[in-house]
């Protein structure tokens, strides 16, 4: 059984619609995938509706933006109640902050490079959680950079003069909110140095104490040494180990199924989650 528990659609910063993600998963030979758009569950219904046609089971999820000790942290939540009020309120606050931040970034960039907010909007779909990847796509469309990777390596880098921070909940609070909503929290790519500072082990330990269930160890941003260290950390803290693609369609080179999760781990996630996996 091939299981990929981290993908994105046009509802956040992917380039495939939710239904197209399910279709692509079937073409890639996956049996199960999770749709985990940033700070939203808006793609769940469309993805679930595509399950019978393509024969791929769907784990409904979300990637929550948070922070700890000045470090950006991404938390995957699986099978939580999408109507849980506290989690919904925090996600809405984050999406609003992302939108305001994006507008500020575009205004700063526009001083030196020709770009407008309309250019960014042209890269989004209805209901999209707007973020820096859409600014990157606008920069590509304008011819300022070759692709998203080039944009994030330069104009949109964290040390760029155009950079603007945004609100994100504390990582421990995020874990608590997910557990309260009946979700299964798994820490995404904590050793991804290319994204900035890695998540310190003491932060992971604090998250584990708050109810963290797993760590995404298998990820293209983790080399062999990272995987060994994170696997040992997961073992020490009694956490599950997952592997995923972090697929974004054409937005990133990540390929569906390039890292996978074991059926035993998925079964444990199902046991802990409040809502069911959508099966063909």
pLDDT over threshold 80, residue 126: no
Decide if 242 is inside a domain. yes
Q: What is residue 195's predicted lDDT score, i.e. its pLDDT?
A: 62
Decide if 135 is inside a domain. no
- Residue 74: give the domain boundaries: 3-91+166-272
Q: Which CATH number fits the domain that encloses residue 198?
A: 3.20.20.140
132-142 vs 85-110: helix crossing angle, rounded to 10: 30
Closest CA to 249 of 76, 43, 74, 107: 43
Decide if 196 is inside a domain. yes
41-64 mean pLDDT? 98
Torsion angle, alpha carbons of 204, 208, 210, 212, to 10: 100
At residue 58, the 3 state secondary structure works out as strand
Decide if 156 is inside a domain. no
Decide if 161 is inside a domain. no
Q: What is residue 194's predicted lDDT score, i.e. its pLDDT?
A: 64
Decide if 263 is inside a domain. yes
More confident call, 95 vs 189? 189
What integer best gives the mean pLDDT of the chain?
94
Decide if 140 is inside a domain. no
Among 44-53, 166-175, 258-267, the range scoring the smallest mean pLDDT is 166-175
Q: What is residue 219's predicted lDDT score, i.e. its pLDDT?
A: 96
Q: Look up the pTM and report it.
A: 0.89
Closest CA to 77 of 55, 57, 62, 92: 62
| pLDDT tens sequence across 137-167 | 999 999 999 999 899 999 999 889 999 988 8
What's the number of domains the chain is made of?
1
| pLDDT tens sequence across 61-100 | 999 999 998 888 999 999 999 999 999 999 999 888 888 9
Decide if 136 is inside a domain. no
């Amino acid at each position: 059984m091939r299981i990929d528990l981290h993908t994105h659609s046009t509802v956040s910063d992917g380039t495939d619609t939710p239904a197209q993600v399910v279709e692509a998963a079937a073409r890639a030979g996956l049996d199960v995938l999770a749709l985990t758009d940033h700070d939203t569950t808006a793609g769940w219904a469309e993805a679930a509706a595509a399950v019978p046609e393509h024969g791929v089971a769907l784990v409904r999820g979300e990637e929550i933006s948070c922070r700890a000790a000045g470090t950006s942290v991404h938390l995957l939540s699986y099978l939580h109640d999408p109507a849980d009020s506290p989690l919904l309120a925090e996600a809405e606050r984050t999406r609003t902050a992302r939108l305001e931040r994006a507008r500020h970034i575009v205004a700063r960039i526009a001083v030196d490079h020709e770009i407008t907010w309309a250019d960014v909007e042209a890269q989004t779909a209805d209901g999209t959680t707007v973020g820096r990847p859409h600014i990157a796509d606008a920069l590509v469309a304008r011819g300022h950079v070759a692709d998203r990777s080039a944009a994030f390596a330069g104009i949109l880098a964290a040390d760029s003069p155009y950079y603007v921070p945004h609100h994100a909940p504390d990582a421990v609070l995020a874990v608590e909110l997910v557990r309260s909503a009946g979700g299964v929290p798994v820490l995404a790519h904590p050793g991804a140095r290319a994204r900035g500072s890695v998540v310190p082990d003491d932060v992971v330990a604090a998250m584990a104490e708050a109810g963290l269930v797993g760590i995404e160890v298998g990820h293209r941003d983790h080399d062999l040494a990272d995987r060994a260290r994170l696997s040992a950390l997961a073992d020490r803290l009694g956490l599950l180990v997952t592997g995923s693609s972090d697929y974004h369609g054409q937005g990133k080179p990540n390929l569906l199924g390039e890292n996978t999760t074991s059926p035993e781990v998925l079964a444990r996630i199902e046991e802990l989650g409040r809502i069911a996996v959508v099966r063909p």
